[in-house]
Amino acid sequence: TQLLEQSPQFLSIQEGENLTVYCNSSSVFSSLQWYRQEPGEGPVLLVTVVTGGEVKKLKRLTFQFGDARKDSSLHITAAQPGDTGLYLCAGLTTSGTYKYIFGTGTRLKVLA
């Protein structure tokens, strides 16, 4: 069974602080996505990383895919209250069937 463990599970920080969310697995994925979900909405894609070692930046968010394509991290610089939400990583597996495996989730709250 393929599992994606995220840490931390919960995070409450003050506005302006930095944070990192980790997404780890023992399995290799074809690509890895990061989503943010707000209450009452479906997850919204933030970024997709495909190549081992790849780093992508989206304004204050920096995403990295591990060299072995088994893990990823999301770093937020100078967090804002608008960053509050549930962050989910999802690995794409194409061995056998084409499907996404979601991580356990990280709930972030940024206090003003």
Stretch that binds another protein, among 20-28, 54-62, 65-73, 100-108 (CB under 8 A): 100-108
Cβ pair 57, 74 in contact under 8 A: no
Q: What is the DSSP letter of 33?
A: E
Identified binder of another protein from the candidate list 44, 68, 78, 111, rule CB under 8 A? 44
User: In terms of CB distance, is 40 or 82 closer to another protein?
Assistant: 40
Binding site residues, another protein, CB under 8 A: 1, 30-31, 33, 40-45, 48, 50, 86, 88, 90, 92, 97-105, 107
